[in-house]
Amino acid sequence: MSSYGQQPGPHGSPSPYGQPPHPGQGQQPYGQPGYPPQQPYGQQPPQGYPPAQQPYGQQGGWTPQPAAARRPQLVRHSLPVVTMDKLVGQEIVEVLGEVVGVVARTRELRPDLRGGNPVDGYVTMLTESRQDAVARLVEMAEAAGAHAVVGLRFDCSEITQSLSEVCAYGTAVTLAGGPVGAERTG
């Protein structure tokens, strides 16, 4: 093996990388460029070097923008949907069974929600997903002849790396006086 042009290693043998074997000799180890030079901990680089980079995901001078996303609103349904096990002042006469509402959504933030703070966009998107799941649950309950849904719960899961499921479920019931808000005759 020829050692032409190589610096001697720690024991007089040539260094395989063509660099001095110890970084203390004024160069970076293993052919790494020396710009900007490494500074001892806590010291600033000398003037003339570019400023240090911002941590990943942060850009200098960025200020949060107002959210382009709509604020979630209360959604009223054609029949009562409650998280309680009964409706106050109403007597349950029949349990029809479990009703579900399922939506599958991409985990990417929708383009219409990307204009402002991404956290606000995700909050809006997640809220709308749950409201859509409840709307589908109500459709199933109405088709079953229910007057209300009690015991509303949510379940969420990942279907694929880019797709998530939101499920709303509860118990469809009929009430003693008929649907809430219907005129009672008697």
Residue 49 lies in a domain: no
Could you give the CA distance from residue 95 to residue 97 in angstroms, rounded to a whole number? 6
Q: What is the mean pLDDT of residues 141-157?
A: 97
* Domain coverage including residue 16: 1-31
Residue 142 lies in a domain: yes
Instruction: Provide φ and ψ at 125, rounded to 5°.
Output: -65, -40
Q: Tell whether 100 and 171 lie within a shared domain.
A: yes
Residue 123 lies in a domain: yes
- 72, 109, 67, 98: which is closest to 167 by C-alpha? 98
Angstrom distances, CA of residue 86 to CA of 9, 81, 95, 152, 153: 83, 10, 11, 11, 14
pLDDT band at 59 (very low <50, low <70, confident <90, very high): low
In this predicted structure, what is the pLDDT of residue 19?
54
50 domain-assigned? no
Kindly tell me if the per-residue pLDDT of 69 is higher than 50: no
Count of the separate structural domains present in the chain: 2
Q: Which H or E element spans position 124? A: helix 118-143
In a domain, 170, yes or no: yes
Please tell me which residue, 130 or 73, carries the higher pLDDT value.
130
In terms of domains, do 26 and 98 share one? Answer: no
Question: Percentage of residues in the chain with pLDDT exceeding 70?
Answer: 59
**Sheet order of strands, 163-175 included:** 92-106, 163-175, 148-160
Residue 57 within any structural domain of the chain: no
97-123 per-position pLDDT tens digit: 999 999 999 888 888 778 877 888 888
CATH number at residue 109: 3.30.110.70
The confidence score (pLDDT) of residue 122 equals 84
Please check whether residue 102 lies inside any domain of the structure.
yes
Considering the chain, what is the average pLDDT of its residues? Answer: 76
Per-residue pLDDT at 64? 44
Query: Does residue 58 lie in a domain region?
Result: no
